Structure 1
């Protein structure tokens, strides 16, 4: 009986260790400065305290595009475990960067995806993000672009004649892409969209980029379809400061939106349980110094331990 009890205890301990190793932790992909040195990663086990990995050194230095920047890195993990990343390569180029990795350390060759090269007047491709559509088994990549003269509304209300709308493509393999289409136009200058699924509904968090009269705040739009039918924006969900670059997670029924208070040179956060009433929790959240616009995703605790051991 004693031998059986010891064996049973060892089995339970083994099961618990396996379960703990598969617990999810949160990873924040971000850039610093102007994005010259590439990808940075931070981790958190509660969504409030964020610590830089690898002594806040770069995990991947940029090579794609003419200016070779890596701003606004967005990472999504596919169903096969592969990490896919897109990013802003330049302030004024017509494409975005792309690379993939199995472990966040060793990356594929970086590619320049010419998603707006067909538009002669396009000025830029900013803050690309991705959403994996499990039903269609494909990725949607979306970003903000200004095409001067394309939209009359908001054409003189932005910074330096920028008047962005959100565009998208889809892909199953990051080799073949659908034609570029318009995703969001509600008659105002909009950037920094990020989409989350809430049951059967899709929730787009976005920045109203209007400068005259000044907005520069975050809002929400919703749709019952991933690529069409988004509503007019909600009232601002951020306060009396300029905010951009939202990224969103849901922890135990609580939505948290992290964002860049860029004129104040610091990061902020708000939370909500119903996506309607928001509470500022900026004073409860800590980030690595200099962290800029990125995205949050999850990995296992076992994976995190490997990354924490990196030199």
Structure 2
């Protein structure tokens, strides 16, 4: 009678599967807590839906008159270096904070990057968003500033009539002079550039006019646009801080802060034209305020977990997120 031989290579297969799962990239979400004086926080997720707070400060702000850290944005360069930019203060600043790291634990000296001193009436520099543009091999940094009496406005005050500006750099030592990124005809902040393919980029941006304060999209051929024909909003009013996460199979999640409702909303899309609300399928730790989503190797998360003080891992919560 035939007797099957034991499958001696099963442990090897299981080990290989485990190794493969451990080698996958992990989603990270930059974060801060109000009143934004503590510094950089990080959340992580294996699927892009359920988030866990590492529950510690990884970098305390030291630059800018107010020494705040709001809207932290990170981009990982081709050499593996993480570049961080952030809002330093509410008003009076003409630049943003910058630091870099190889592992998200140990950071370079912080620097204040002055980008708007050539415009002496600039009110603020808000929400710098950093993005590495592979075709041009440079980093693009976009932020919102108000220059009173420069642009037409609605019912906003002159010191709250924002437009989006940008600079580029290859080495974070020299930066191109600030230029207007887009004037969509309305006050706008919180811009995110999403690459989809050659000559195919999406701009996700907040319409900051009253009473709108909602999020819209536009499409362009390069990271610098042009981005004409901004869409109708795909979120309700009183929403801001979009963060775009790329899923497998050309799908995206767009996280946004529904700040009046004190929760995080999430839209899923495959074309940035039709959107499905998947907020109920997600969980975001309480207190999280908006940053950006990026990916890290699994070993980086392992190192981050080891660096956190014992017993400080926070569990995720669903429902009310702020």
Same fold (TM over 0.5): yes
What pairs up with 1:46-61 in 2 under 5 angstroms?
A: 46-53=47-54, 56-61=55-60
TM-score with structure 1 setting the length: 0.92
Distance across 2 between alignment mates of 1:18 and 1:119 = 53
SS in 1 for 2:292: strand
Distance 2:274 2:136 in 1: 33
- Establish whether residue 250 from structure 1 lines up as the match of residue 246 from structure 2: yes
Report the Cα distance in structure 2 between the residues aligned to 1:84 and 1:128, rounded to whole angstroms. 12
Q: How many Å apart are 1:15 and its aligned residue?
A: 4.6
Once the 2 structures are TM-superposed, how far is the Cα of residue 48 of structure 1 from its aligned partner? 1.1
Kept in 1, the 8 Å contact 2:191–2:204? The answer is yes
1:90 counterpart SS class = coil
Measure how far apart 1:232 and its partner are: 2.4
Structure 1 partner of 2:88: 89
> What are structure 1's unaligned runs of at least 5 residues?
none
Aligned to 1:223: 220
CA distance in 2, matches of 1:127, 1:57: 22
76-85 or 17-26, larger mean C-alpha shift = 17-26
Give the structure-2-normalised TM-score.
0.89
SS at match of 1:188: coil
Encode CA deviations 1:152-183: one digit per residue, 9 max, x unaligned: x21x4225641111100110110001111111
Deviations 1:122-144 (A, max 9, x none): 00000001111112211011100
The answer (yes or no) to whether the contact 1:87–1:127 under 8 Å persists in 2 is yes
- 2:296 maps to 1:287: no
Q: Name the CA distance, whole Å, in 2 between partners of 1:306 and 1:101.
A: 13
C-alpha distance after superposition, 1:22-59 (max 9, x if no partner): 20111110111021000010111111111101xx2211
RMSD, matched Cα? 1.7
Question: Which consecutive residues of structure 2, in runs of 5 or more, have no partner in the other structure?
Answer: 1-6, 310-322
Partner of 1:120: 120
> How many pairs were matched up?
299
1:1-311 superposed matches below 5 A: 15-53=16-54, 56-92=55-91, 93-151=93-151, 153-154=152-153, 156-158=154-156, 161-200=159-198, 201-211=200-210, 214-239=211-236, 241-252=237-248, 253-309=250-306, 310-311=308-309
> Which whole-Å CA distance do the structure 2 matches of 1:46 and 1:140 have between them?
27
* Alpha-carbon distance between aligned partners in 1 of 2:77 and 2:65, rounded to the nearest angstrom: 28
- Separation of aligned partners in 1, 2:29 and 2:165: 24
Out of 165-174 and 262-271, give the one that drifted further: 262-271
Asked if the contact 2:149/2:158 (under 8 Å) is kept, the reply is no
Instruction: Give secondary structure in 2 for the equivalent of 1:165.
Output: strand
Does the 8 Å contact 1:31/1:40 carry over to 2? yes
